[in-house]
């Protein structure tokens, strides 16, 4: 089918193979470059560049039927030469524009496009690409968010190239236990201070750090190290720079023509016209290019909320409404669904991750059921709630108790990623460590406990670079991270803690196999507002691994804190954030009696009537219509008592299946009590010994140390207590 026709109908998803500049031969066999640009409102178009001394008359392009596309061939044009399009507008002006489909571009502040042959690299990741699983079944996902220009720099503050940084970053991530890197935008952009989120080259990798081939080497290196590559991609808006997309052929083209739809009130940028077929082809082709030609494993789509809403960032007085009186941008919704349908059908291994901050339902739901079709969604509600809680002084944390537990009301509604991203360590918000109240020791202890909460909560994980060693200052895009802080014991100990926590997460399926149902999560302690103590069970999909996760968010220690468990057995301490080697108080260090605990059976209790059991009601996220107090309490109870429903088939006196309480014919249930010694401001993880019955150890083991679950060869064990 005609590629121009598909472009005009919004269905050419590889339009970069038709538009832009690409090497070719003339009809006479002469080498050169073939040019094609979409400029339907132009009176005339020519190509200017190094090959014709920037002469606007020498190399005109010609209209290709009624498609709005102008084409032509220039003999003798060579790779690395600079060029632009000279466009004669409808009102007679002559404007110079960079190629929207350019495959390479000058480094800022220069703005010309550069002729480039994209057939530039021989890949070595064939096995990786062929063995990638479907995007929703990738197993544990522990993402390291990275800004390539400021992760590391030379001493003179010059940046590393893609080829120079690739082996360093791959080795560091492997050692630290991250299995995916999320790159802040790498499409070409003019303003360093935008961090890449104001794109001018949707088909060009930024030349700040090298060529497109160099970036392919970077991705290839990551894949050979077993690391997924996710790229931040920005289809929500673009900057007003005269040389780029804005008013491209003298009139609004890529952007909405109507000013209220076009102008982004928060960022001073322009909004794409999602109702225009050619814009659909342009944007989906950009996504396709990153996933196909550059072998990216996924895209994180920025600012999805602003695509879905007509009034993102608008004051009430300036709001606009759709034909049904709502605020949804139906064209934006249709574009998102088309984008995700296209990628999911053709590249099922590609993750499509939404940075979406509203309560829009079914963001990761199937499109055929009215969902948006993303594979994952950033859980912004979780992030905002826990950071509000954690910055409160310790005596006041009980006031914000539900900020810790509320996320479980909606935790299974989407396939979530739990992010502590770059947005949380800029603009005066302070670093994560800087948000913690109290003295130096309490700040570090509280941050370690926060990380245990993140890694034991259902959902994939994301942390911005530097979070792992707890810098005090906010992120600065114009210099490297404060690696020198690792000279100080507390920061070095924090890095060691994050390394061990990361590997523990990857190695233990109870923390990630069942992230979307109550069978993988159960509250054990959710009501202790006075002491700010929380506890839950996490279970693997086959229920064979059970972890007890305990959090103490106050500086108070507890000699004997009692937890009621739905199952007995022996529980071994496998991770202690208060360990001395992590900078903790060593409260449990020399007390081996509290490293291996046996749950004690409690008197049986009458089971609640079925009518009192919680129902599976749909409760939306915090930003949706208000969740009632009763709905919140109901969801909490469902998390606490999810084991009761699945225990009905067990006979009296039998050994319960993992995660199920014993139930008798008379409707009684059996529970167990576990006495735990709690350090101050700490997270503890216990594993239930597989060789123990509900009554305790069955093979005579008594245990006098830490079970090295998740330990890597050559590294300190999971606990030396």
Q: Which residues are catalytic?
A: 302, 355
- Cβ density class 506-515: b for 16+ within 10 Å, e for less: bebbbbbbbb
User: What residues contact 484, with CB distance under 8 A and at least 6 apart?
Assistant: none
Taking the CA of residue 605 as centre, how many other CA atoms within 13 Å lie in the half-sphere pointing to its CB?
12
Q: Where are the beta strands (DSSP E) in 11-63?
A: 20-25, 31-38, 44-49, 62-63
Q: Whole-angstrom Cα distance, residue 500 to residue 38?
A: 53
Phi first, then psi: give them for residue 675, nearest 5 degrees. -95, 120
Are 55 and 49 spatial neighbours (Cβ–Cβ below 8 Å)?
no
Q: For residue 203, give the nearest of 9, 17, 357 by alpha carbon.
A: 17
Are 395 and 499 spatial neighbours (Cβ–Cβ below 8 Å)?
no
Q: For residue 508, give the nearest of 137, 132, 139, 131 by alpha carbon.
A: 139
Are 712 and 503 spatial neighbours (Cβ–Cβ below 8 Å)?
yes
Are 139 and 461 spatial neighbours (Cβ–Cβ below 8 Å)?
no
Q: Whole-angstrom Cα distance, residue 470 to residue 491?
A: 6
Are 271 and 263 spatial neighbours (Cβ–Cβ below 8 Å)?
yes
- Cβ density class 112-127: b for 16+ within 10 Å, e for less: bbbbbbbeebeeebee
The encoded tokens of residue 406 equal 């509320």
Strand partners, 377: 354, 416
User: Can you give the C-alpha Rg of the chain in angstroms?
Assistant: 28
User: What residues contact 391, with CB distance under 8 A and at least 6 apart?
Assistant: 435, 436, 437
Q: Whole-angstrom Cα distance, residue 12 to residue 38?
A: 13
Contacts made by residues 427-432, CB under 8 angstroms, sequence distance 24+: 427/474, 428/474, 429/474, 430/474, 431/466, 431/470, 431/471, 431/472, 431/473, 431/474, 431/475, 432/467, 432/470
Phi first, then psi: give them for residue 610, nearest 5 degrees. -60, -35
Could you give the angle at the alpha carbon of 115 between the alpha carbons of 101 and 80, nearest 5°?
145
Q: Whole-angstrom Cα distance, residue 346 to residue 11?
A: 13
Q: Where are the beta strands (DSSP E) in 349-502?
A: 351-354, 376-378, 416-420, 460-464
Q: For residue 477, give the nearest of 215, 111, 194 by alpha carbon.
A: 194
CA dist 75 → 24, 31, 34, 565, 674 (Å): 9, 6, 9, 78, 81
Sign of the dihedral defined by the CA atoms of residues 345, 351, 357, 362, in that order: positive
Q: For residue 513, give the nearest of 493, 489, 534, 541 by alpha carbon.
A: 541
């Amino acid at each position: 089918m005609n590629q121009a026709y598909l472009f005009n109908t919004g269905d050419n998803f590889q339009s970069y193979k038709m538009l832009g500049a690409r090497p070719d031969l003339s009809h006479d066999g002469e080498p050169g470059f073939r040019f094609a640009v979409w400029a339907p409102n132009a009176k005339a178009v020519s190509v200017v560049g190094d090959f014709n001394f920037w002469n606007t008359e020498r190399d005109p392009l010609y209209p290709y039927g009624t498609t709005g596309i102008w084409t032509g061939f220039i003999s003798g044009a060579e790779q690395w030469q600079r060029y632009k399009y000279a466009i004669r507008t409808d009102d007679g002006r002559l404007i110079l524009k960079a190629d929207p489909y350019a495959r390479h571009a000058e480094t800022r502040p220069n703005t010309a496009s550069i002729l480039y042959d994209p057939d530039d690299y021989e890949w070595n990741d064939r096995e990786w690409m062929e063995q990638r699983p479907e995007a929703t079944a990738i197993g544990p996902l522990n993402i390291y968010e990275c800004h390539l220009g400021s992760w590391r720099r030379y001493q003179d503050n010059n940046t590393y190239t893609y080829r120079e940084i690739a082996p360093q970053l791959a080795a560091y991530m492997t050692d630290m236990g991250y299995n995916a890197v999320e790159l802040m935008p790498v499409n070409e952009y003019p303003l360093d201070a935008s961090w890449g989120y104001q794109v001018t080259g949707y088909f060009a990798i930024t030349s700040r750090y090298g060529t497109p081939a160099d970036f392919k080497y970077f991705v290839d290196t990551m894949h050979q190290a077993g690391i997924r590559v996710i790229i931040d991609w920005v289809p929500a808006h673009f900057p007003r720079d005269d040389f780029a997309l804005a008013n491209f052929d003298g009139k609004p083209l890529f952007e909405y023509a109507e000013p209220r739809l076009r102008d982004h009130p928060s960022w001073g940028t322009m909004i794409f016209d999602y109702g225009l077929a050619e814009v659909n082809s342009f944007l989906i082709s950009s996504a396709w290019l990153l996933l196909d030609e550059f072998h990216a494993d996924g895209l994180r789509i920025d600012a999805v909320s602003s695509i879905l809403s007509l009034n993102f960032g608008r004051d009430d007085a300036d709001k606009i409404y759709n034909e049904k009186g709502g605020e949804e941008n139906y064209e934006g919704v249709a574009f998102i669904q088309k984008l995700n349908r296209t990628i999911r059908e053709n590249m099922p291994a590609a993750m499509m991750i939404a940075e979406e901050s509203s309560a829009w339902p079914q963001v990761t739901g199937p499109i055929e059921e009215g969902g948006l079709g993303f594979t994952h969604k950033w859980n912004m509600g979780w992030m905002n709630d826990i950071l509000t809680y954690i910055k409160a002084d310790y005596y006041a944390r009980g006031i914000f108790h539900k900020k810790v537990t509320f996320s479980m009301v909606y935790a299974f509604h989407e396939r979530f990623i739990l992010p502590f991203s770059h947005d949380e360590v800029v603009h005066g918000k302070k670093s994560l460590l800087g948000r913690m109240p109290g003295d130096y020791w309490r700040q570090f202890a509280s941050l370690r406990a926060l990380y245990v909460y993140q890694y034991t909560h259902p959902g994939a994980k994301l942390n911005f670079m530097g979070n792992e060693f707890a810098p005090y200052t906010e992120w600065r895009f114009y210099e490297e991270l404060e690696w020198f802080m690792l000279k100080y014991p507390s920061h070095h100990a924090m890095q060691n803690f994050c390394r061990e926590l990361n590997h523990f997460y990857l190695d233990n399926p109870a923390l990630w196999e069942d992230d979307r149902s109550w069978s993988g999560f159960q509250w054990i302690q959710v009501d202790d507002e006075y002491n700010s103590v929380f506890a839950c069970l996490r279970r693997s999909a086959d229920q064979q691994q059970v972890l007890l996760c305990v959090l103490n968010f106050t500086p108070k220690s507890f000699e004997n804190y009692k937890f009621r468990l739905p199952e007995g057995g022996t529980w071994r301490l496998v991770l202690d954030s208060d360990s001395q080697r992590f900078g903790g108080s060593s409260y449990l260090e020399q007390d081996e009696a509290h490293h291996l605990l046996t749950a004690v059976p409690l008197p049986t209790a009458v089971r609640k009537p079925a009518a009192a059991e919680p129902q599976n009601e749909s409760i939306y996220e915090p930003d949706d219509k208000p969740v009632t107090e009763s709905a919140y309490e109901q969801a909490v109870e469902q998390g606490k008592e999810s084991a009761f429903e699945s225990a009905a088939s067990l006979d009296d006196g039998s050994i319960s299946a993992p995660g199920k309480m014993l139930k008798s014919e008379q409707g009684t249930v059996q529970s167990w009590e576990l006495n735990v010694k709690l350090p101050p401001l700490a997270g503890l993880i216990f594993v239930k010994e597989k060789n123990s019955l509900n009554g305790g150890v069955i093979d005579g083991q008594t245990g006098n140390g830490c079970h090295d679950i998740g330990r890597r060869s050559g590294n300190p064990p999971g606990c030396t207590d």
